[in-house]
């Protein structure tokens, strides 16, 4: 009987103990860096160029958006843009800006847009909205890269 009592006491004590973990997280500071290079591009600045694009937003879906975009046009801060949500929702304005830049480059034959200035007109009615973007700048043609 004594052995049963000791064994059951050990099993009961073992059942009361267990594994636990503690995870404490803190938001990290944003990491920003710079890249230095000796590469220099000779860019010839030409005439003024423009490009336009538009899209229609229904709830979280973007309709009528173009399928060709210029990379590197998004100017957001990265991450989730200061949102309280743990994930980033797609920003349809950035996609329309990229499409407008692509249209300006394709129509003019430029390599880059020098001093681009975007005009964004956004009409938002909660479940429905339109986004119209126009970009204007100067035609940049790369002559040489050293």
3-class secondary structure per residue, 36-98? CCCCCEEEEEEEEEEEEEEEEEECCEEECCCCCCCCCCCCCCCCCCCCCCCCCCCCHHHHHHH
Note whether residue 128 is domain-resident.
Answer: yes
How far is the first Cα of the chain from the last one, in angstroms, to the nearest whole number? 91
How many structural domains comprise the chain? 1
Instruction: List the Cα angle 108/49/96 in 5-degree steps.
Output: 90
Q: What is the pLDDT, as a whole number, of residue 20?
A: 41
Q: Residue 116 belongs to what domain range? A: 39-145
Note whether residue 43 is domain-resident.
Answer: yes
Q: What is the pLDDT, as a whole number, of residue 77?
A: 46
Note whether residue 15 is domain-resident.
Answer: no
Note whether residue 22 is domain-resident.
Answer: no
Q: What is the pLDDT, as a whole number, of residue 22?
A: 42
Task: For 107-144, write each residue's pLDDT tens digit.
Answer: 999 988 888 888 888 887 878 888 888 899 999 999 98
Q: What is the pLDDT, as a whole number, of residue 124?
A: 79
Note whether residue 4 is domain-resident.
Answer: no
Give the DSSP H or E segment for 19: none
Round to whole Å and give the CA distance between 42 and 146: 8
Note whether residue 8 is domain-resident.
Answer: no
Note whether residue 6 is domain-resident.
Answer: no
Q: What is the pLDDT, as a whole number, of residue 106?
A: 92
Q: What is the reported pTM? A: 0.63
Q: What is the pLDDT, as a whole number, of residue 81?
A: 45
Q: What is the pLDDT, as a whole number, of residue 37?
A: 81
Task: For 42-91, write each residue's pLDDT tens digit.
Answer: 889 999 999 999 888 887 777 776 767 677 665 554 444 444 555 556 67
Task: For 1-51, write each residue's pLDDT tens digit.
Answer: 778 888 888 777 766 665 543 444 445 566 677 778 888 888 899 999 999
């Amino acid at each position: 009987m004594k052995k049963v009592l000791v064994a059951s006491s050990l099993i009961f004590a073992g059942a009361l103990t267990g594994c636990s973990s503690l995870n404490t997280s803190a938001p990290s500071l944003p990491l920003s860096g710079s890249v230095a290079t000796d590469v220099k591009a000779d860019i010839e600045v030409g005439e003024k160029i423009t490009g336009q694009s538009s899209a229609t937003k229904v709830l979280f879906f973007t309709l009528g958006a173009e399928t060709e975009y210029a990379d590197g046009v998004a100017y957001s801060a990265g991450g989730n843009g200061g949102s309280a949500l743990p994930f980033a929702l797609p920003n349809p304005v950035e996609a329309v800006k990229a499409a407008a830049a692509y249209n300006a480059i394709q129509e003019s034959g430029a390599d880059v847009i020098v001093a681009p200035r975007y005009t964004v007109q956004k009409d938002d009615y909660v479940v429905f909205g339109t986004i119209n973007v126009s970009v204007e700048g100067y035609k940049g043609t790369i002559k040489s890269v050293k």
